[in-house]
Structure 1
Amino acid sequence: MRVDFMMIGAQKAGTTSLAAQLAAHPQICFCREKEPGYFHKTEEWAAGLDHYHSLYSPTPGQLCGEASTYYTFFPEFRETHKRLYDYNPALKLIYVVRQPVERIISHYTHNRVREIDTRPPAEAVFAEPAYLNRSRYGVQIRPYLELFGPENVLLLVFEEYTADQIATLYRVAEFLGIDAAPFAETDTTPLHQSVGQPYLRSEAARSFTKSELFQKVRGVVPAAIRQPIRHRLLSNKIDEKPHFAPEVKQALWRLLEDDVLTIEQMLGYSLNVWRRGYTEEA
């Protein structure tokens, strides 16, 4: 077998929700492991394909797909696109772009709730290159366009997706060559929101909550006891996005606006919705 398509980013651009919607389609067999990230971390990738392929159980006629935003973490991982091309030169790739400053704010919020980055926003986003680099969409996607060709790369805009998820799913169906009809009744509830949702600090605790034993226990222990323990002792939660001062947001935009022009050229139309509040032209 070979995986037929992959969602390769961008991080914090709705890929979790979109992946769940694609996984529910009857013509798609989606990877059982969320963000397996096999090709960005495995130099000798050919030797471990049996294990990677074991994450899929397709029925005849199904397309296999996965979602790993790691695949466009450039320059952290510089050879991923070449590995993917060597694996399957006919691979179809889906890449979602989002207003780049808003993506950084969401990225920082994601790290803050997980206590990965507890520095103030203005300090963190300029000190850690990944915040800016992962919003440089043109830099991230260009190697894939050059190797696979534009016919095998679908660029989606997060703001268009959130405004009309079904229309975006129809575009994906056309791109993958599958029936669009099952998407008509798709669940459009957002997934993996960083604000307002408790995040378990312990990886072991996160795994336990997905287990069969936990599902049995949660029905026995009263919520009045279970939830305070879970929320106060084991988890972290923020109720609103961290504040980014206007001058910080403007500085981030100035560093990224040239890349926005590149993405507009790739898309063939203007993203004025991204400029609102940042330029006089919008």
Structure 2
Amino acid sequence: MLPSFLCIGAQKAGTSWLFTQLHSHPGVWVPPIKEVHYFNHLFVPENRKWTKWHIRSATAAALKTYVGRNEDLHFPYVQYLVNLGSNEVFTEGWYRRVFDLPAAAGKLMGDMTPEYSTIPEEGIRYLRGLLGAPKIIYLIRSPVSRAMSQLKMNVSRTVKGSLTETEWLAQADQWDIANRGDYRTYVPRWKAQFASGDILFLPYGRIAREPAGVMREIETFLGLEPHDYPRLVERVHKTQSFNVPKSVTARLEERLRPQADFLAAEFGADFAQQT
């Protein structure tokens, strides 16, 4: 058993919100860890610095949550979580085992890992060879607001104390800030290998304005029955607030202007304004 749909990004563009919605749909099964990171571990060498740690940390957290919430433990599920975090990770056999649970039988299975948008052409070809023709969902957020959200997340995770303006600018210039939102590279790359009916691009801003409409469109795209989502308007993973110097915003606007221009040219002005 393998997933029949993927959400490939973008990072900080609503993927956690979408995971929460689809997790509640009775016709969908997604892994207990949101981001599996299989394809980007194989094809984006820079990610290998942290992907194994992520899987072990995420499975340990999932196990702790499960044990804490359930007095009557289902030990095959406990063993499943333990095995996911074992040393034998990121093999094809391991990826298949991620989706090998009785609870997933008969349901539409998905893998929601935003770093997948960044994999190279050979990675997409391998993905297609393994999965066939999965449905692809790509959430698109305004380049500057996406980068700013990622910047704040990175700082909250790695920096203690306050930053000077120079330090903020150095953080904004980090490789991954631009890489995760490189729509000019990634959108054509994915469109070249998937039929137009198999890839759905959605502007991030619609999530706040019309969350039910977004889910209706996704249900239609995936062939799902309509569902009432209990956490539809709930904000997931709110970014920590920071007083970011205006020079940082200006730096990002200048650096990412070609990305914004690309979105308007590729999808139209109305789509771009909704990101």
TM over 0.5: yes
The one-letter code of the counterpart of 2:245 is F
User: Which residue in the other structure is 1:249 paired with?
Assistant: 249
Length-normalised TM-score, structure 1:
0.71
Contact 2:27 2:108 in 1 (8 A): yes
Higher Cα Rg: structure 1 or 2?
A: 1
CA apart distance, 1:162: 1.4
User: Which residue in the other structure is 1:177 paired with?
Assistant: 223
How many residue pairs were aligned? 225
Look up the SS of the partner of 1:57 in the other structure. Answer: helix
| Inter-partner Cα distance in structure 2 for 1:56 and 1:12 | 32
Look up the SS of the partner of 1:41 in the other structure. Answer: helix
CA apart distance, 1:257: 2.3
User: Which residue in the other structure is 1:83 paired with?
Assistant: 126
Where do 5+ consecutive residues of structure 1 fail to align? 196-239, 276-282
> Identity of aligned pairs, percent?
22
From 152, 174, 179, the counterpart of 1:109:
152
Contact 1:169 1:183 in 2 (8 A): no
Where do 5+ consecutive residues of structure 2 fail to align? 44-89
Equivalences for 1:236-275 in 2 at 5 Å? Answer: 240-245=241-246, 247-271=247-271, 273=273
Contact 1:108 1:117 in 2 (8 A): no
Length-normalised TM-score, structure 2:
0.73
Look up the SS of the partner of 2:206 in the other structure. Answer: helix
Deviations 1:173-201 (A, max 9, x none): 11111112x13655321111122xxxxxx
Deviations 1:187-230 (A, max 9, x none): 321111122xxxxxxxxxxxxxxxxxxxxxxxxxxxxxxxxxxx
Contact 2:203 2:271 in 1 (8 A): no
User: Which residue in the other structure is 1:122 paired with?
Assistant: 169
CA apart distance, 1:273: 3.6
Equivalences for 1:1-282 in 2 at 5 Å? Answer: 1-42=1-42, 45-54=91-100, 57-60=103-106, 62-73=107-118, 79-115=122-158, 120-126=167-173, 128-180=174-226, 182-183=227-228, 185-195=230-240, 240-245=241-246, 247-271=247-271, 273=273
Which fold has the larger relative contact order, with Cα–Cα distance below 8 Å and residues 6 or more apart in sequence?
A: 2
* Greater per-residue helix proportion: 2
What's the RMSD between the two structures over aligned residues? 2.6
Deviations 1:55-85 (A, max 9, x none): 673132x2001210121235xx664322211
The one-letter code of the counterpart of 1:66 is D
| Inter-partner Cα distance in structure 2 for 1:105 and 1:117 | 18
